[in-house]
Structure 1
Amino acid sequence: MKPFIFLLLLGLHEVTSVTHSLKYFYTGSSGVPNFPEYVSVGMIDDVQISRCDSITKRNVPKQDWMKHISDDPQYWEEETQNCWFSQQNFKINIEIAKQRFNQTEGAHVWQNMYGCEWDDETGEVNGYDQFGYDGEDFISFDLKTETWVAPRQQAVITKNKLDQNKALTASQKNYYTQLCPDWGKKYVNYGRSSLMRTVLPSVSFLQKTPSSPISCHATGFYPNRAELVWRKDGEEIHEGVDKGEILPNHDGTFQMSVEMDFSSVPEEERKKYECVFQLSGVKEDSITRLDGSEIRSNEGSGFPVLLAGAVVGLLLLGLCIAGVVIWRCKKNRQDMY
């Protein structure tokens, strides 16, 4: 599967503003064993704020501060109704997609990711609405041109239908430039004490075998606007370096790693290398000098534990990419066919 994932890496010490994001993910499936037919997830600044699925049949807040996000006591009831509506909608879309691709059986997945990003300082807003079928891009909305883009022949009929719907186009533009960032700012304001906090990581050096690259692993940090690099004599090193993605931990914090091949570096020279962690909102770098005596390996107890944490993070990320329903702002959403 090719999930829709957007990762934002910033040159932290050169950035004076903060970019926030509100994203929603929907996933409907057919013929997939041991997996809900429908899952929805909402995320603000890559922190999960809501979830609904076809098993629980409820849309519920995933952060304490989201429980009272609205003065309307029926807010979460309406969220649940919208979840049910989208679940039925997705069933129809999967069946129509199967017809488009001349499919009669097998496992199939229909996905939608939409949301917006806004810059606190400049006010610049960007919105996106993307659909995928069986792990491939199907159709997406281009906010700049206010048209739909069909990368697959089977989606052309959908593109033509949607492009002709001027009322829908106007609604899309209004949502992504006005409603989405407005609600996103409201969520950020409600969850400010949690979303705007800064937590520094614990940093460890990991190595599978004595001849393997050495990995600098930072875990437990927040927010995910962070950078991790290898440095020697004040200069950042790029050659022989493999930087990993920022991944979520089960407790809402994040982790990341950066590997470096030290096979050509003499043992006595390695102590000159250091791992530097930079976190948005924190002026000073966290610097950890490489110490051969503190490198954890498969023979130690720390390495498997950290790997287990990474697996949990990946599983949670997979669930977050499984789908979501936005509340009343999108309640009139129609099926895409």
Structure 2
Amino acid sequence: MNMKELFVLLLMSHITTPVKHSLKYILTATSGVSNLPEFMGAATVDEVQIGYCDSNIKVAEPKQDWMKKLIKDDPQHLEWYLLKCSETQQVFRANIDGLRQRLNQTGGVHILQKMNGCEWDEETGEVVGFNQYGYDGEDFITLDLQALTWVAPVPQAVITKLRWNTEKARLEHNKYFYIHKCPEWLKKYVKYGRRFLQRTDRPSVSLLQKSSSSPVSCFATGFYPNKAVLFWRKGGDDLHDNVEEGQILPNPDGTFQKSSDLDLSSVRPEDWGKYECVFQLDGLNDDIITKLDQSGIRTNSVPVPPSEFPVGPVVGGVVGLLLLTACICGLLIWRRRVHGYQRGLEVDTELE
């Protein structure tokens, strides 16, 4: 048994694999980007967007039917999100202006993000909280909940770290929210959305090629959950050379997509039949295998329907499809990710 098969075996084991859930808030402020709102906020559960707001629409919108039912049962929930969206817009606008001034940035495109939330292991009860900021695509400042202190990975954030570490009441509030309040809400969301979150959706798998000299991309879209493996195989052996694996990315409808590119420039045409793309998904007992066949490859001369077009190549890894959702925005701009209603998603003071 090779390492790939062992990983998949562990992935597919419902008995031994813990059931983990996550609640994430992704907040984004932009400067110098004409086609985007100045502020966007998204909430996700298990990487599925459940809510969205921005400075243009000025309302908080639930994005899943089960979230709409939760809000119908508890209207204060939507009111809280609307209030926080409005408050956070003002704070983030001041934050990004302050950072530009401090770093002597007079123009250009700048992006400030905050990603915070918690993970909950339904089997063990373990809770892990996180809260971090990114600026212009790089980590800026992160909260270490174990030590209850802020950590600055870049010199520009040291001033902020020193000041925020003196605010003991705020640190304690962070600890309470991420260890107690956040998982309480997450459990509630999982309860309402369990049927949706625990379903299994098979993907559509296609072979795509930009031109005859380009790599062949095996593209799987529309699958759920996001615990999936996509890889190339030759004669039964996994391929690692000449393969570029893409990340799992969210689709606007709550499903996911993933691609894996194979460079065939050194492969003889008569050997193509030895290659195949393999997709494996948690919840599916059978592999989805797509043989490499010239007649089955979609190229520019064979248009791909919009619903089957990959997000990854379009966005180019930086801004791209930010207009789709702030959720996708958060996942793509931030290149280095971590792994009552009185307070909650706290509004932070300025990053001075």
State the TM-score bracket (shorter-chain normalisation): 0.7 to 0.9
Q: Structure 1's 14 and 141: CA in aligned 2 closer, same or farther, altered over 3 A? A: same
- What SS does the aligned partner of 1:330 have? coil
Letter of the 1:37 partner, please give it.
E
Contact 2:143 2:151 in 1 (8 A): yes
Unaligned segments of structure 2, at least 5 residues:
1-5, 12-16, 331-340
Matches of 1:137 and 1:290 in 2, distance apart?
40
Matches of 2:172 and 2:79 in 1, distance apart?
28
Cα shift at 1:120: 2.8
- What SS does the aligned partner of 2:218 have? strand
Partner of 1:59: 60
The C-alpha deviation readout for 1:220-262, integer Å capped at 9, x for no partner, is: 2112211101123332111211111222233322221112223
2:209 counterpart (199, 204, 207): 207
Partner of 2:335: none
Partner of 2:41: 40
Matches of 1:12 and 1:175 in 2, distance apart?
35
Partner of 2:7: 11
- Count residues in correspondence: 325
What does 1:1-337 align with in structure 2 at a 5 Å threshold?
11-15=7-11, 16-70=17-71, 71-103=73-105, 107-302=109-304, 306-307=308-309, 311=314, 314-315=321-322, 319-320=326-327, 329-330=343-344, 333-337=347-351
Letter of the 2:101 partner, please give it.
Q
Say what the alpha-carbon RMSD is for the aligned residues: 2.8
- What SS does the aligned partner of 1:144 have? coil
Matches of 2:107 and 2:214 in 1, distance apart?
45
Bigger RCO of structures 1 and 2 (CA < 8 A, at least 6 apart) = 1
- What SS does the aligned partner of 2:247 have? coil
- Percent identity, aligned pairs only, is 53
Contact 2:139 2:153 in 1 (8 A): yes
Partner of 1:6: none
Matches of 2:90 and 2:41 in 1, distance apart?
13
Letter of the 2:327 partner, please give it.
C
Q: Structure 1's 93 and 314: CA in aligned 2 closer, same or farther, altered over 3 A? A: closer
- What SS does the aligned partner of 2:205 have? strand
Q: Structure 1's 122 and 269: CA in aligned 2 closer, same or farther, altered over 3 A? A: farther
Matches of 1:47 and 1:253 in 2, distance apart?
8
- What SS does the aligned partner of 1:302 have? coil
Structure-1-length-normalised TM-score: 0.85
Structure-2-length-normalised TM-score: 0.82
Contact 1:218 1:256 in 2 (8 A): yes
Cα shift at 1:23: 0.8
The C-alpha deviation readout for 1:153-205, integer Å capped at 9, x for no partner, is: 33222212221222222222222222222211221221112111111112122
Letter of the 2:112 partner, please give it.
W
Q: Structure 1's 149 and 207: CA in aligned 2 closer, same or farther, altered over 3 A? A: same
Unaligned segments of structure 1, at least 5 residues:
1-9
Letter of the 1:153 partner, please give it.
P
Compare 60-69 and 260-269 and name the one that shifted more: 260-269
